[in-house]
Chain A
């Protein structure tokens, strides 16, 4: 029984009852026992649906029509129920917050055992063992509020391992993690793969981050079909990623810019395996050929935070002595790990919280006396989840809401909303119900509703969270356009690509303090900042070091400048 197929799709199709067309078409896929598989694809490619078919949420929670065959351990899944499947295949969902059922770490891990009516002594012993596997045993009675995103995810993983399943399915495990934690998550998954003989399936669109460790095969999906089934090296050599809107690793992009023909023999699947000898010269020459643009003159200050401190209880400072400036029309990022105080800063700027000391000034004037509503006319905040903001059924009304609440004349409202809808590319949808929009379009609506108030600064909280490369690009190109109209933007994020590609400057927050205020290329090549802020060194830097380029920071900056040029044309 060597290399038996533990999962077998044969001509498998699936259509949700609520959809007009099938979501999965004629899937043929075999996964052998003990393999480690990555499934990539843009949003709506069907990769999550494939995951739901595996873990039984289809048809248990989401109904639809299944044709063809899906066998797990030689059993047709349609003959199994979700409970039997959960003993074979364990799922770790993407949002570690939402799936934390228990009130403490150990209780959460025990959840599956409780449902199996296991006795308390046996339960305690098995829970401890599972917690040890993911290094969470010392957190036994911590509540979810005391844990970081990574720790919550490890708890979820233990909650699945406790059942001794054969297959582990990770549904977008990196979505809510900061770069360093994401890297560590991939390492833990790899260690478990190595130590046990479990089959591992990872569904994720952040390809470069998953390829931090070895993967047996990468499956590329789009439009409900499997388009490629390759090892990582062949994948980089193919054009399938680009064609399907999946971001290739940055160092691969850099190689292509340098004119390197990325072939399978180059072993570009992982940066460590890349055959450097063959590309060194090309990278070196390319780096010298990039002409840096004129450094921009410093912009006049629009918003100025001076020695801001903040604490909820008057004892523990959440923000400690933070100062920075934002220029007119600047695009800046505030970065840092979860809980570092990034969002608190945005709440202070918008007046949701009141600083304990320090001054926030806008156009040179102290704004501490202004109400939330008054500040919103100067500084708009777009929340991460559009569902947290949208309160009207129709797009026009939603965008007009802020103006109507300010008793602006209806005729003027019409003009201003029309103008904003046009800027945001929403004009054709103006009479649509919001429910019919995609996530990215909803995001646009929320940005439009803030823009309608004519602020000079917009703060965007994780604007691209959970978005695939295509939507990410769409949202950010849109933000970029708004910025070009003269609106200053503050991005609050832990996405390194985001700050690298779009921000002119990054303020790095760690433990409530500002630890850096520099160009993204400086930040992502500075070891001590990376460490403190839970960021990750960019693979571009690693590439430059391997290529023997002395000034790695300049190399990264060259890449950004070159990319901006390519993007515009």
Chain B
């Protein structure tokens, strides 16, 4: 019960007060800025900003621990694979070659490669806090209305919101099933071998799927009976009206976005910042 992947909780902070649509647009602008630029200076600035936003929204580390671990594992795997497949990528990009040390065969660590991969690592880690903040400070219904606001069809938007909404329920169900199967003798601890654990996990997944299917039938009937899908448009009860702070937030995100583009065009003359020349 204490390891929820993500769940929305209302706290009164400036970030929570923003409209979901604002947060989504700002998130998209900032993500795009970071994804576009390979200038580590810009990226670090955005990272500081996104950590500041995370801090501002009073999210506790306990809430996001699991997600942080998943993301960290992903980023590290990504870095290893990048190096494995193209160890000379940095050299190609920056046009110089400063060898630090050799590993084996074609695997040589160069300053360029290190710099390139570091830039990439920071790119990811500056977007993640923003994503976390967005997910944890926007209630699923508002999130759906925001998606709908940027042009996603409301049925798709609602599907996303329902998934988020039922996530905690399904997690609870998983836990209950898992415990009752453990009572029957299922070993989910590290003592069992990997193959056994995969096989055992199946014994939990099957009941979970069936009880979830029951739930889906019920909710879709309930929604049909109340007219979901009747018109091409729908209104949203939880949609927040735009306030001054929404415009300020949008202004800041556009500013950062344009700033990044300008730095690329006029200072770096390209997407990369090259300290080697």
Contact = CB atoms under 8 A, between A and B. Distances in A.
Nearest to B232: A117
Contacts of A387: 207, 210-211, 214
Contact of A114 (B173, B211, B220, B237): B237
Contacts of B180: 381, 383, 388-389
B237 A102 contact: yes
Contacts of A116: 227, 230-231, 234
A296 interface: no
A99 interface: yes
A373 B182 contact: yes
A35 interface: no
Given A82-B225, A95-B218, A110-B237, A401 B207 contact: no
A93 B203 contact: no
B238 interface: yes
A119 interface: yes
B173 to A, nearest CB: 7
Contacts of B182: 372-373
A532 to B, nearest CB: 27
B183 A119 contact: no
B2 to A, nearest CB: 8
A127 B236 CA distance: 13
A124 B241 CA distance: 14
B20 interface: no
A117 B226 contact: no
A89 B213 CA distance: 26
A114 B225 contact: no
User: Could you tell me the dominant secondary structure of chain B's interface residues?
Assistant: helix
Q: Which of B141, B180, B226 has the most CB of A within 10 A?
A: B226
Interface stretch (A2-10, A54-62, A493-501): A54-62
Interface string B165-188: 100000001001101111111110
B233 interface: yes
Interface in A336-370: 347, 350-352
Nearest to B9: A143
A119 B235 contact: yes
A478 interface: no
Contact of A103 (B165, B176, B203): B165
A350 B181 CA distance: 12
B224 interface: yes
B226 A112 contact: yes
Contacts of A159: 226
A55 B181 CA distance: 39
A106 interface: yes
A57 B235 contact: no
Interface string A99-143: 101111011001111111111100110010000000000000000
Given A102-B237, A120-B239, A123-B237, A57 B224 contact: yes
B125 interface: no
A390 interface: yes
B207 A111 contact: no
A21 B155 CA distance: 36
A376 interface: yes
What band does the interface of chain B fall in when counting residues whose beta carbon is under 8 Å from A?
35 or more
Interface residues of A, number: 64
Contacts of A60: 224
B206 interface: yes
B226 A388 contact: no
Contacts of B69: none
A61 B216 CA distance: 13
Contacts of B141: 102-103, 107
Interface string B195-208: 00000001110110
B80 interface: no
Contacts of A403: 185
Nearest to A382: B180
Given A114-B236, A372-B179, A98 B215 contact: yes
A375 B185 CA distance: 10
Interface string A45-66: 0000000000111001100000
Contacts of B187: 373, 405
Contact of B185 (A99, A114, A347, A405): A405
A83 B238 contact: no
Nearest to B177: A388
Contacts of A83: 227, 230
A93 B222 contact: yes
A381 B182 CA distance: 11
Contacts of A95: 218
7 contacts: A103-B140, A114-B235, A115-B227, A123-B235, A372-B182, A381-B180, A385-B211
Interface of A: 55-57, 60-61, 82-83, 86-87, 90-91, 93, 95, 98-99, 101-104, 106-107, 110-120, 123-124, 127, 159-160, 163, 312, 347, 350-352, 372-373, 375-376, 380-381, 383, 385, 387-391, 401-403, 405-406, 449-450, 453
Given A55-B225, A372-B182, A391-B202, 18 more contacts: A61-B221, A82-B225, A83-B227, A86-B226, A91-B225, A99-B218, A107-B141, A113-B237, A114-B235, A123-B235, A351-B183, A373-B186, A380-B183, A381-B180, A387-B211, A388-B211, A389-B180, A405-B187
